[in-house]
Amino acid sequence: MPGVSSADLDGADARAASDRRAVRVSGEMPLPAGRRLAMILCGFIPLVHAAAAAAPIALVAAGMARPRLVLLGPLVLYLAPPLVVRACTAVWPLPSGAFPVGSPVFLRWWFTAQWQVIFSRFPSFEESLRLVPGLYSLWLRIWGAHVGGLVYWSPGVAITDRSLVRIGQRVVFGLGVRLNAHVMSAGADGLPHLYLGPVVIGDDTLVGGYSLVLAGCEVAPGQVTPPLRTLHPFTRLAGGRRAPVPGSPLVSRPEEAE
């Protein structure tokens, strides 16, 4: 490279390595101000969502609106988030892989994640949909999930990335199962990365109670997983055995972290 000596390159590599070590020690990511601001602003989405859902009810209670306007509250609560996320992922799909914190893919995921926060803070909102057979599965499809027929959702099942689940036919989820299509872990450079990938559950599968199924996991059709099992990111369970999903990124397991 003209005008750049090997000593300059060595110095740049040393500074980059020093910066990475400093980030690992301090735990702080050097994000550009614009992206940091975008993350902060997205953090207000759950509050705005809750206020918009509560506003019609408050107006009716105060006698400032007709009683029928109260129906707008549940519509905003349950339909606004999946429609926004569905539109966002239709234009900018969330790919599988490892992405640095603050990258464009991370920011798109962060935006979609904030629309789901209220259902994590108040699980009863989501749990109530499961009282009507088929209604919860239909709601997930509005988010962009693929859900087959005759799926049974036991109480306490939690999904954190609703647009990234792929559920087959006749699947049974035990008590407290958690489907988590994202995980945060150190990348090859030692810096925090978002690992993202759809959770795929095959036909005629029973997922044991209180299992944790993480990003990029695939459970083959007909499997019966033991309870209290953690399926590590980007692994495939078939024939009772686990193996890495071909071509997927490597994610450090908690017990392997320093």
The answer to whether position 4 is within a domain reads: no
The answer to whether position 147 is within a domain reads: yes
Dump pLDDT digits (tens) for 159-185: 999 999 999 999 999 999 999 999 999
pLDDT over threshold 70, residue 152: yes
The answer to whether position 229 is within a domain reads: yes
The answer to whether position 10 is within a domain reads: no
Residue 105's H or E segment, with its range, is helix 104-114
Residue 236 pLDDT level (bands cut at 50, 70, 90) = very high
The answer to whether position 17 is within a domain reads: no
User: What residue has token string 């057979």?
Assistant: 133
Dump pLDDT digits (tens) for 22-56: 444 444 556 889 999 999 999 999 999 999 999 99
Cβ-contact 108, 94 below 8 angstroms: yes
Question: How many domains is the chain partitioned into structurally?
Answer: 1
Mean pLDDT of 225-247: 93
Tell me the percentage of the chain whose pLDDT exceeds 70: 86
The answer to whether position 11 is within a domain reads: no
CA 100 vs. chain centroid, Å, equals 15
Nearest-5° angle of CA 43, CA 143, CA 183? 55
**Structure-token pair, residue 202:** 């095959």
Mean pLDDT of 129-143: 97
Mean pLDDT of 180-193: 90
Domain with 143 in it: 29-252
Mean pLDDT of 147-154: 98
Least confident stretch, 12-16, 153-157, 158-162: 12-16
CATH number, residue 46: 2.160.10
The answer to whether position 34 is within a domain reads: yes
Instruction: Give helix 45-61 / helix 104-114 axis angle, nearest 10°.
Output: 20
User: What b/e string do you get for 97-118 counting C-beta neighbours within 10 Å, with b at 16 or more?
Assistant: bbbbbbeebbbbbbbbbbbbbb
Q: What is the pLDDT of residue 23?
A: 46
